[in-house]
Amino acid sequence: MIEKPRIRVKTFKIDGIDVTGRADQTVLDVAIENGIDIPRLCYMEGLKSIGACRLCLVEIEGQRGLISACTARISEGMSVLTKTDRLLKYRRQILELLFSERNHQCAVCVSNGHCELQNMAISVGLTHVDIAYLNPKLNIDASHRRFLNDPNRCILCNRCVRVCDEIEGAHTWDLLGRGVDTRVVTDLDEHWGISESCTGCGKCVHVCPTGALSEKGVSVAEMAKRRNFLPYLKSNRGIS
């Protein structure tokens, strides 16, 4: 008789609350299971976590540096803090940087009212940005017959890259450049409409947290993303 491997369970604290989780879980996994809110933008259930947005940074007592909750594995007896003054300050600064690096005019955006970046700013009371705007002038790619890519609204969360690679298996999207000059591109920086790898599935559009990727034909505030397909596809394909 083959014995099933034992699942190792670890007990620790999040904001003083006793919680338990499997050894292979992250701090964010356990926080979500216990109804503890940790802000995040790049994380999405069904996709691998990469800690790109840094909004889910948390403090662990006894450690000097901050760590991203979506990538940090839990350990026995650890004590995690998610709402310290230091963290709130950092998260606000991160949001200010995201708004200042690209062009996010909510009033004329197709995702106005359905935007995760906008909602995050509201949740922390961000009413203005103290950092100088870069005001880039990035070309909009409207070459695809169904979809539109506006890099001026991109926050480089990598969701489109990951869903295209991990779920659809096409790997049409990738990153080009470094720092503030980084852009999400199709294939070898070709127009989306002539991509030979794109299947036209639309998964990238519906995991995008802002109005960077949208469907053609939608007007201001009409682009509501549909993301409930991800957990279903993950479970049926056996993706870990």
Question: Where residue 78 sits, what CATH number does that domain have?
Answer: 3.10.20.740
Q: Are residues 71 and 127 in the same domain?
A: no
Do 124 and 40 lie in one domain? The reply is no
Residue 28: which domain range?
9-83
Q: Which CATH number is 138's domain given?
A: 3.30.70.20
Question: How much is the pLDDT for 8?
Answer: 87
Indicate the number of domains in the chain. Answer: 2
Confidence of residue 230 (pLDDT cuts 50, 70, 90): confident
117 and 183 co-located in one domain: yes
- 78 and 114 part of one domain: no
The pTM (predicted TM-score) of the whole model is: 0.91
Beta 183-186 vs 213-215: how paired, if at all?
A: unpaired
Model pLDDT, residue 109: 96
Whether residue 58 has pLDDT greater than 70: yes
The DSSP code for 92 is H
Pure H helices in 53-147: 85-101, 116-123
In this prediction, residues 84-89 reach a mean pLDDT of 96
Which residues have a Cβ under 8 Å from the Cβ of 25 and sit 6 or more positions away?
A: 73, 74
State how far the Cα of 221 lies from the Cα of 106, in Å rounded to an integer: 9
Q: What is the pLDDT of residue 98?
A: 97
Grouping H, G, I as helix, E, B as strand and the rest as coil, residue 148 is: strand
| Cα separation, 202 vs 185, whole angstroms | 15
pLDDT at 237 over 60: no
The percent of residues above 70 in pLDDT, for the chain, comes to 93
Tell me: pLDDT of 240 over 60.
no
Asked if residue 232 is part of any domain, the answer here is no
- What percentage of the chain has pLDDT greater than the value 90? 88
Same domain (yes/no): 136, 25: no
Residue 25 falls inside a structural domain: yes
Q: How far apart are the first and last CA of the chain?
A: 26
Residue 172 domain flag: yes
Same domain assignment for residues 219 and 114:
yes
